[in-house]
């Protein structure tokens, strides 16, 4: 769960820093491949806005909403009627990290955070994918399509919504 939250924070900021993008919206497919080459695939839709607002809506294989702002991550899991609240890691500054990324070949950039390297691939002016190896040595790749950038996104998009009857866990 920790690596999922980190990559979501990473992605929420990647779009804003790499090409001076203020907002980003896209469909995504996330694959996680373990050492036995077993692949888990997730898909959904995401929104991101400067300075640090993001909403990931996972649609398959299960529905899940993840909201990130400067201070907190909120994970809403309707199937188990649960909401998890976590504080954002205080030293995380993806704007600085991505601005330090280096082009390693045409339209491919590399950057690091803590012990992980991230590869960012662009196609024209859009981010096409971000990949990295997580703390469990899984290969993670997030592909984007139907990208939109610098379009107005309502602030309410980033406000967590859930029934008050859900179990609430503060981490």
The 10s digit of each residue's pLDDT in 74-87 is 999 999 999 999 99
- CB neighbours of 102 closer than 8 A, spacing ≥ 6? 109, 110, 111
pLDDT reading at 126 higher than 90: no
Angle at 120 between CA 97 and CA 157, to 5 degrees: 80
The domains found in the chain, sorted by start residue, are: 2-170 (2.50.20.10)
Of the two residues 97 and 22, the one the predictor is more confident about is: 22
What distance in Å separates the CA atoms of residue 64 and residue 170, rounded to the nearest whole number? 17
Of the two residues 109 and 1, the one the predictor is more confident about is: 109
- Residue 8 confidence (pLDDT): 54
- Which among 6, 122, 138 has a CA at the least distance from the CA of 130? 122
């Amino acid at each position: 769960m920790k690596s999922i939250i980190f990559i979501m924070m990473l992605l929420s900021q990647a779009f804003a820093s790499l090409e001076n993008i203020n907002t980003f919206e896209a469909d995504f497919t996330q694959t996680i491949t373990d050492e036995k080459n077993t692949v888990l695939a997730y898909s959904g839709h995401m929104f991101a806005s400067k300075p640090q607002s993001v909403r990931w809506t996972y649609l398959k294989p299960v529905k899940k909403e993840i909201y990130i702002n400067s201070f907190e991550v909120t994970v809403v899991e309707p199937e188990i009627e649960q909401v998890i609240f976590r504080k954002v890691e205080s030293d995380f500054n993806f704007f600085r990290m991505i601005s330090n990324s280096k082009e390693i070949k045409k339209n491919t950039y590399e950057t690091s955070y803590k012990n992980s390297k991230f590869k960012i691939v662009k196609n024209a002016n859009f981010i096409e994918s971000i990949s990295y190896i997580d703390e469990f040595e899984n290969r993670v790749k997030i592909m984007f399509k139907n990208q939109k950038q610098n379009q107005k996104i309502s602030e309410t998009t980033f406000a967590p919504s859930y029934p008050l009857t859900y179990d609430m866990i503060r981490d």
